[in-house]
Structure 1
Amino acid sequence: MKNKIAYIGCLSLIGMITTEFGVIGILPQLAEYYQISIDKAGLLLSAYAMVVALAGPLMTMFASGFNRKHLMALTMVIFLITGIVSSMAPPFWLLMTVRVLPAFLHPVLVSTAVAAATSTADQKDAHKMMAIVIGGISIATITTVPFAAYIAGVFNHWQSSFMVQAVISLIVLLSIIFLLPSMPGGERKSYRSQISILKKPAFIASSLFAFFMIGSIFSTYSYFAGYLSKVNGMDEKTISLMLLLFGLTGVLGNFIAGKLLSRNITRITAVFLIGLIAVSVPLYFSGPMSARTVLLIAVWGFLQTPCFLTSQAYMIETAPEAPEFANSISISFGNLGISIGTAIGGLSIATYGIHSTPWIMFGFGIAALVMMLIKKMMEAP
């Protein structure tokens, strides 16, 4: 039963991530269609992430006592509506509006899925169950996100990408309704008992770490398609294949990270972060497409994808007394990182060109590493 719940949670995150990150592969087409710059098109990702960051903790606290199955189903209904409306090529303001609506329940879905999977598992298996659920992020990057981009490229019709997102949301919704058992939320914890973790300096440090780490990722990854097109000279179909390769190696990295986290969360988190910092340098010098570029993208995916899992585990470890709220704070700071990282990456593109984004990635990564060192000093006896 515990594995079944974890795998349905994983499927839910696949539907969620397909909607949130699905625009990454079609940003150039969206910019062209709406006659806007690519950094402005990037608002479709950064605005979504900002809503998650601001609404996440409050929504999670409010929803903590509700039936988890009902919450997950309601969230997927809203994702389904978003995909349908977006596929109709509405005015940009309406596209932006329907994009941010599901963001209000995004953190509730993640926190609920993780809590449902880990609450039924033994303590020694908790990180493995979390890895299965969070694995939905890497699976989406290997399957649904590149597939949506590929379909848009094949039909030369960016709306097709949103149609794919809607179909996936419908499949996830039906899976939740028919396969997930009813899961009452139990006794709702008081707001004061949950908020008390914000008084812990080490937890604040780990939250800032998550912000910088995820900001490092999305300062460049948000413009993945544009970067490979402008810097590496790839066409749309090749870019979708690179997204697939990125996701494949990311699944492997996520699997390895999930296995190793139970040994030493801090050390494994640092290893993947340092690797992410290191890969930004050759990425800047990658140049036209070659075998070396393809290998670099594979390594990039392997190092980057597990960072979602390691950052959450790193934060939750600091607040075991309120894991669901800690998870929502992790999601909020992570999405704040997505929003600010995407925005600064866009500003860098507007000022210095898209080739400059790996250095933003490098800077955010160093800041995250510094926050790890600060947290380590705070915890020293």
Structure 2
Amino acid sequence: MDKQNKLIILILTFGVFGILNTEMGVIGILPSLAEYYGVSVSQAGLLVGLFALAIAIAGPTMPLLFSGIDRKKVLLLVLAIFVLGNIATIFITNFTVVLIIRFISGLFHPVYVSLAFTIAADSVKKEEAPKAIAKVFIGVSAGMVVGVPIVSFIASVASIQMALAFFAVTNALVLIATLLFMPSMPVKEKLSYGSQLRILKKSITWLSIIGVIFLNASVFGVYSYFAEFLTSVTNMPLNTITIMLFLFGLTNIIGNIVAGKLLTQNAIKTVVAFPFALGAVYILFFLFGELTIPMAIITLIWGIIAGIGANINQYWVMSSAPEAPTFANGLFLTSANIGVTVGSAIGGYFIAQMGTQYVILVGFISIILSLVFVFLRNYRYNNVQNNPLNSRVS
């Protein structure tokens, strides 16, 4: 990989950090935002929920819509929308208007992220693509997990306005770097909308999408209530929980790096092994959830495995439709967000019915369902590969 490609991937990594941090960073300051906008905490939660809904809606459509335009111009457009949206949320105190702004930003989220994965993969040799994508995923993990305690810290030592300004500054810096250092990237081979939509006719695409929904639900169905688990089951103090969440984010990044190597060496074995590794971690959660030191160690391991899982999800959908990479990445983002929604909803149900420690069950159920679709997908792939009449996986 030459210096220019390394710089491009670095900019994209910080870019997805800014985009994902705009989405998830508000989680740690929801009570403060509720007070700032004059609404309840549950209403403030719509700042996250509507953003995720916009991503789920736009995932399959928006990347497809922009697939034929110069990639640099698209990146700049999305970053500009996020910068303006971030700035507006600082000064506008009307909650409804802020929700509309975040919903619009959410619609453009999958455009940038799916394009970042595609550009990273195109910048290296085909066999090195998982490693390049894994580097971009560092920004995804940092934005989703590490950004939360950073924004919370800024709000606690400065103000809620400064915390919101962090989103704007981050995206503005990436916008400047993209403008100055990224070359023009016209689409060399424009794919028609019809040719890209054709991947939806392939059974392997749908098996991959459903598999990813359950794979992501197996992680986020538990992680969504991790702080509550540490509070009510492990009895950790609030400052220790903040440290645990931060450590989870750091090990998540390590998992991204490990995933790039594993997927490059043997992707299928990595995907099949992941649910079993995650299941083993959840057994440890259930057995030692009340003990602080074992939980700290288990959390570090879980963070690494979760980081690997994020890369697996992208690979699983992308590899099912390599002929339409940007559209496939959009489908990945939609399926991943549906997984978060499904997992968190079922996790909340188990907590309400059985108690917080039983949130682990949503992880186990999702793992079992994901394995079904992983094996069905592998069976379909092998069946087509062994049939000489098929030139493409269908």
- Superposition map of 1:272-291 within 5 A: 272-284=274-286, 286-287=288-289, 290-291=292-293
Which one of the candidate residues 63, 66, 72 is aligned to 1:63?
A: 66
Unaligned runs of 5+ in 2: 384-394
Aligned partner of 2:178 in structure 1 is 176
Distance 1:163 1:198, change over 3 A: same
Which one of the candidate residues 76, 81, 84 is aligned to 2:79?
A: 76
**TM-score, normalised to structure 1's length?**
0.89
Aligned partner of 2:51 in structure 1 is 48
- Superposition map of 1:320-335 within 5 A: 320-335=322-337
Alpha-carbon offset, residue 302 of structure 1 = 0.8
CA contact (8 A) 2:259 2:307 kept: no
CA distance in 2, matches of 1:32, 1:224: 24
Alpha-carbon offset, residue 284 of structure 1 = 4.4
Alpha-carbon offset, residue 352 of structure 1 = 4.8
User: Which is bigger in relative contact order (C-alpha 8 A, separation at least 6)?
Assistant: 1
CA distance in 2, matches of 1:44, 1:274: 34
Aligned partner of 1:298 in structure 2 is 300
CA contact (8 A) 2:217 2:344 kept: yes
CA contact (8 A) 2:25 2:143 kept: no
- Superposition map of 1:1-20 within 5 A: 1-20=4-23
Distance 1:337 1:272, change over 3 A: same
Of 159-168 and 248-257, deviating more is 159-168
SS of the residue corresponding to residue 105 of structure 1 reads: helix
CA contact (8 A) 1:148 1:161 kept: yes
Aligned partner of 1:270 in structure 2 is 272
- Superposition map of 1:1-381 within 5 A: 1-27=4-30, 36=40, 42-87=45-90, 90-140=93-143, 143-154=146-157, 160-284=162-286, 286-287=288-289, 290-352=292-354, 354-381=356-383
CA distance in 1, matches of 2:281, 2:34: 28
CA distance in 1, matches of 2:226, 2:112: 26
CA distance in 2, matches of 1:32, 1:230: 26
CA distance in 1, matches of 2:17, 2:269: 28
Number of aligned pairs?
Answer: 379
CA contact (8 A) 2:131 2:260 kept: yes
CA distance in 2, matches of 1:274, 1:311: 15
Q: Give percent identity, aligned residues only.
A: 35
CA distance in 2, matches of 1:276, 1:209: 15
Alpha-carbon offset, residue 244 of structure 1 = 2.0
Distance 1:348 1:203, change over 3 A: same
Aligned partner of 2:392 in structure 1 is none
SS of the residue corresponding to residue 323 of structure 2 reads: coil
CA contact (8 A) 1:76 1:170 kept: yes
RMSD between aligned residues: 2.7
Of 184-193 and 298-307, deviating more is 184-193
Of 18-27 and 122-131, deviating more is 18-27
Aligned partner of 2:387 in structure 1 is none
Alpha-carbon offset, residue 36 of structure 1 = 4.2
Distance 1:281 1:116, change over 3 A: same
Alpha-carbon offset, residue 81 of structure 1 = 3.1
CA distance in 1, matches of 2:28, 2:226: 7
Unaligned runs of 5+ in 1: none
Distance 1:94 1:372, change over 3 A: same
**TM-score, normalised to structure 2's length?**
0.86
Alpha-carbon offset, residue 259 of structure 1 = 0.8
Q: Which has the larger radius of gyration?
A: 2
Alpha-carbon offset, residue 209 of structure 1 = 0.7
Amino acid at match of 1:282: L
CA distance in 2, matches of 1:98, 1:273: 37
Alpha-carbon offset, residue 246 of structure 1 = 0.8
CA distance in 1, matches of 2:228, 2:98: 20
Distance 1:286 1:27, change over 3 A: farther
Amino acid at match of 1:310: I
CA distance in 1, matches of 2:175, 2:332: 25
Provide Cα deviations, 1:325-352, integer angstroms capped at 9, x if missing partner. 1111111111121233233334444555
